[in-house]
Structures are given as structure tokens and as C-alpha cells.
Amino acid sequence: MRDRVIRDEIHKDILVPARHATIIDTKEFQRLRHIQQLSTCEYVFPAANHNRFAHSLGAYHLAGQLTDSLKEVQPGILSDDDAELVQLAALLHDIGHPPFSHVLETPEVYATYHSHEHWGRLLLESEHTEVGAALKSVLGGQRTARLFSLMDGASQHDGVPIPPFLKEIVSSQLDVDRMDYMVRDQANTGAQIGGFDIARVLRALRVGDDGHFFVKSWGLPAIEAYLVTRYHMYHQVYFHKVNMLTQNYLVRMLSRARYLAGEGTLALSPALHNMLRNENLDAQGYASLNDAHVRVSIPEWAEHEDEALSNYAKKMLSRRDFHKSLRIEALTTEMVAVVKDRIEEEVAAAGFDPSSEVIYARISKRGYMPYEQGIQIEDGGDASEHSPLIRSLAQPNERALIFVPDEIRDGLEQRVREWIKPSQSSLVHFE
């Protein structure tokens, strides 16, 4: 096998040595072509149908760019062997994602539930998966074990230290995973939020005496732009109300299918049986699942006699008759707890089933966390101490969304405003 060049929409040419191509060409890694990066976000942004495969290659590329930069500006800080391990850790960080990515990473859907990190490790450690065999062939047993220790954030393996910056390249508040998905997601959604200069961020990173990353002072504006981009991507894209709603539809549809299959009133394909009903799913069975297995069943479920299943499936097919959110900007989970019973009574009185026609979603983003693996500037202080802009992003953000049938949204919204706080009833409606 020869070295290859993969053309990427974001990073242009990604150079892949032949030995790494043997890992990429395994069926478990190729499966990521069929795992959508942003799950149901395409219902808001039609071009947001890019996949985990491209993102994983992008993270791999950026890890290579960063390790090359470190070897140039801090000679001796990083061995070629560890630089390769970091790149492969970035390449394989998403190998365990379920169909539709994070959205289906829930015991509501999977009869055998584990986190995507757990499934990823099972796939990489298995002697029965192509990717596990390829990884061991490329690295050998000892270096494969060091790779796993690096991914776990261990400080050493077999007595040989693992500096913390190696893990930080792959997983931290300023890692190659986040850098790639933000620029890739922005490009594919068309979100106009400014963006940031990845190359400048990478050039500004250095390793301190404690083995952790810090940022050169001249790189602070690039860090500000990175954090502002992250803030706006969460608020404008990831937490968009229609994205939150369609994620709920998808999970509820599959949860209902799981229930009906258990009742014997819905036949499942072998793949969906593995997902929804198999309580002893193994790594090979998990790796056989992708988005297509769900998508192909939706038209059939839209015609099913079960009203709840068919309603959710029809919405996923047609994007019609979507629920509408109550337009109360300051709604919190505490407020929802106070009014939840009254909302459901009102919905039932209007002739709707509250169990399927009231949908709750919670948006929670802790913001930039300066004292939990924060971003250090070269004088030893956190980035937030140098930048009022970054300090403003450190505030946690949490709010709730309530979705109800369109026909009763306006009247119910007014009553909820009155129940929560009389002054809310005078707030201007917004879309």
C-alpha cells in the first residue's frame, strides 16, 4: 500500500502514510462515513450532513500539524513515536460513536448501553475487529498499550512518563477535536459567526515545565476568537430549537419502536434488533450499526398503526406539523418544574395526549471553565485573567425549552408567562 493524499474541504491536502491508511481502510473506521456528525441538525441547516469520518481525518491532520510545530519550536519535547501515537489517538477518538452521534448515546435507545468512549475501546482492543488487528499490526502490543494509556490521560505507561500535553492535544478545552469540528460544522451549516485562525492557535501553543500547554501572549486574540466561535456555535447551531426538537423526535421514535417490539407488535430488522433489544450486544455487532439502519425503517414506521410511532416517523419524513416552543427566553428548569403539571393539564384539556405532545428539552452549557483544565497564558495566569471577553464567556448557561402543538402554543404560552411571573405576560413575542 502506498502513502496517500486525501483532499478535505477544510484542511485541503491531508497526508496519510501507508501504515496509517491500513487503519483508515478497516470497516470499523469506514463505518464513520455513515455516522452523521450533527445528527438531526440538517432539519435546520440542510447542508449539515457531513460525517464523523471527515471530522476524524481533520482531527488527525491537526494533531500532525501541532506535533510538527512543537518539534520545530521546542526541539526534543516530543519523540517521533509519541507524535505518531497522538495522531492516531486523534484519528480514532470517535471510532465508538453510535448512529446519529451523541443523540442516540442513551439507554432509552440501546438495550446494551455504554458511552461511545467505552465502545471505542472495545473496538480497538478486540481481536475480532479489523481496526483492532490493524492497530496492533501498525504499533505492536507495547505501543498499542501506551496509546491506550495516553488516551486515558495516564501519567505513565510501563514506567515511561506520558507528559500531560499529549492528552491535551486530543482532549482539553483547546484540543484538535474541538478545533476541527467547529470550523467544519460552521462551514457545513453556513453559520456566519466569524470563525478563528487554527494555524495561529497552533503556532501559539508551547509546553511548559509542568508538561502542560500554555499560549504565547501574542496568541491571546486567536484564543478569544476560538472561544467566541465556540460560544456562538453552541447558541446558534447546536442548541437551535428545531435541532433540539428533532433530536427528541428521533429518540422518542426509537424508544417507542423498542417498546412495541417488546410487545410483539413491531418487527425489527436484525440491525435494529441489535440496537433496541439485544441486551448482550458485542463490539462487532455494535460496529455493524449506522444511520442507514434507522433511516430505512422510518417510511415503514410512518404507516404503522401505533399513533405515537407513526407521528414521530411522519415528522422525520416530512418536516410538517412540528411542535412549537413556548417563546419564553428566561425559562429555566426550575420554572418548568413549577408549571409542568399545569401545562400537561392544559394540553390534555385541549384534547392532546401530554405524554407525546409535550416535549421538554434542557440546554446546558457550562461556558469556558478557567479553573477546570483552563487555557494558560505564558505568564502562568489563565486566559480569563487577561481578557474581559473570555471572562464574560465563563458564565454557565442553562435554560429550558417546552414544545407543544402549534394549535395551542399562543394561548398556553400566555398562561405560562402568568404562572411563572406576572411581568412575563407583557414580554414581546419573538420567533
Residue 395 has a pLDDT of 74
Residue 397 has a pLDDT of 72
Residue 427 has a pLDDT of 42
Residue 347 has a pLDDT of 97
Domain 4-238 CATH superfamily: Hypothetical protein af1432 (1.10.3210.10)
Positive or negative CA dihedral for 385, 387, 388, 390? Answer: negative
386 given a catalytic annotation: no
Helix (H, G, I), strand (E, B) or coil at 155: coil
- DSSP state, 332? -
Residue 370 has a pLDDT of 66
Helix (H, G, I), strand (E, B) or coil at 185: helix
Comparing CA positions, the residue from 149, 136, 8 lying closest to residue 65 is 8
Residue 379 has a pLDDT of 85
Per-residue pLDDT 10s for the chain (431 aa) are: 799 999 999 999 999 999 999 999 999 999 999 999 999 999 999 999 999 999 999 999 999 999 999 999 999 999 999 999 999 999 999 999 999 999 999 999 999 999 999 999 999 999 999 999 999 999 999 999 999 999 999 999 999 999 999 999 999 999 999 999 999 999 999 998 888 999 999 999 999 999 999 999 999 999 999 999 999 999 999 999 999 999 999 999 999 999 999 999 999 999 999 999 999 999 999 999 999 999 999 999 999 999 999 999 999 999 889 999 999 988 888 899 999 999 999 999 999 999 999 999 998 876 677 656 789 999 889 999 999 999 888 777 788 999 999 999 999 999 999 998 754 444 444 33
Q: What is the pTM of this model?
A: 0.94
Q: Judge residue 318's burial from the number of C-beta atoms within 10 Å of its C-beta, 0-12 exposed, 13-18 middle, 19 or more buried.
A: exposed
Residue 429 has a pLDDT of 41
Which one is catalytic: 11, 61, 97, 116?
116
Q: Residue 374: CB partners within 8 Å, gap ≥ 6?
A: 173, 368, 382, 383, 384
Residues 374 and 170: their CA atoms lie apart, in Å, by 15
Say how many CA atoms lie within 13 Å of 222 toward its Cβ: 17
- Report CA-CA distances (Å) from 182 to 46, 225, 271, 364: 17, 12, 32, 18
For residue 195, which phi and psi values (nearest 5 degrees)? 80, -175
Residues 104 and 110: their CA atoms lie apart, in Å, by 8
Residues 230 and 232: their CA atoms lie apart, in Å, by 6
- Domain layout of the chain by residue ranges: 4-238, 241-366+396-426
Residue 11 has a pLDDT of 98
| Cell numbers at 336, concatenated | 418548568
CATH number of 241-366+396-426: 1.20.1250.30
User: 100-128: b or e for each residue (b if 16 or more CB lie within 10 Å)?
Assistant: bbebbbeeebbbbebebbebbbbbbebee
Q: Judge residue 141's burial from the number of C-beta atoms within 10 Å of its C-beta, 0-12 exposed, 13-18 middle, 19 or more buried.
A: exposed
Q: Judge residue 175's burial from the number of C-beta atoms within 10 Å of its C-beta, 0-12 exposed, 13-18 middle, 19 or more buried.
A: buried
* DSSP symbols for 291-326: HHHHHTTHHHHHT-S-HHHHHHHHHHHH--S--EE-
For residue 106, which phi and psi values (nearest 5 degrees)? -155, 145
Task: Fill in the amino acid letter for 377.
Answer: I
- DSSP state, 214? E
Residue 422 has a pLDDT of 52
Residue 371 has a pLDDT of 56
Q: List, in sequence order, the alpha helices (H) in 350-405.
A: 354-357, 383-386, 388-392
